[in-house]
Amino acid sequence: MKTLAERVYIEISSKDRLSGTPTDFRVSICDSIKNCKNLVLETLNMPYTWYFEGTLTVVESGGSFTITLPNERLNESNLYTWLQTELNANTVTPYTYTVTYDTTQKKYTIGATGNFVMNFGSAGVYDFPKILGFPASNTSNTNSHVSSYVSNLNEQQLCLYVNPIPTNLYTTDSSGANFIIPVNANWGDIIFCNRNTSFLQSTALSGTTGFNIRNFEVSLQHMDGRKISSLNVEGDVNIVFSVGLYDV
């Protein structure tokens, strides 16, 4: 029976990509690594990431308008001022909007001088209802709306998919991801994952004889399967893997 002989370490970066974007890319290392048994995620550095995205369409009596989540460091204390500014800058009727945030209930109240509908159930909305605490459905037509749930401006974890070529990775994780990235930073800050400060994550390579790896395809995604847009990352994603090798 073949045994695990040693581990080698590989650092890859989206800045060295052959194709793709900083969050969905393909790289090639100089020399093939032979007789590979498994991959272990050692570290991941994802700089200045605004991983929430989406649009919100507001329907008024005089028409409708759409606003887009920005690449800014929003938090619960300044999201309401940003949203109020955007609503008042884009209203077409026009209305005057007031947005308040309850720090105890962690909920938002969005009011206006006339009735309006927020389209949280439309295609392309993505993260707007989550961060404001609304269900993923269109609101009623009234002049004031209060969050149904606690707002959430922090993702708990993201998914990392890695595809060595040839393709024979398998994983037992229910999400189908090869690795889960714990998010230890606020939206708009640097995400850093380290096996020594989080937990060991290893993905086995199927088969008993091992195979050679030279190319890596990497994709960072939300837990619901949406890829993180490259427009929402300032810089390059850097990853260190260790590869277990069979004794030959």
- Assess whether 232 and 159 both reside in one domain: yes
What's residue 177's pLDDT? 81
Number of domains into which the chain is organized: 2
- Assess whether 242 and 162 both reside in one domain: yes
- Assess whether 84 and 128 both reside in one domain: yes
- Assess whether 202 and 84 both reside in one domain: no
How much is the pTM? 0.84
What's residue 209's pLDDT? 65
Instruction: Report whether 237 contacts 218 (CB < 8 A).
Output: yes
- Assess whether 76 and 141 both reside in one domain: yes
- Assess whether 137 and 171 both reside in one domain: no
- Assess whether 42 and 160 both reside in one domain: yes
What is the 8-class DSSP label of residue 227? Answer: B
Contacts of 136 (CB under 8 A, 6+ apart): 120, 121, 125, 129
The CATH number linked to 185 is 2.60.120.1100
- Assess whether 140 and 118 both reside in one domain: yes
Separation CA 228–CA 232 (nearest Å): 7
What's residue 3's pLDDT? 53
- Assess whether 79 and 105 both reside in one domain: yes
What's residue 5's pLDDT? 61
* 15: containing domain: 4-50+155-246
One digit per residue, the tens of pLDDT, for the chain of length 248 reads 455 568 899 999 999 999 999 999 999 998 888 888 888 999 999 988 888 999 999 999 999 999 999 988 888 889 999 999 999 999 999 999 999 999 999 999 999 999 999 999 988 899 999 999 999 999 999 999 999 999 988 888 899 998 875 444 444 444 578 888 988 888 888 999 998 877 788 887 766 567 788 899 999 998 888 899 888 888 999 999 999 887 66
Of 107, 129, 146, the position where a domain reaches its end is 146
- Assess whether 77 and 43 both reside in one domain: no
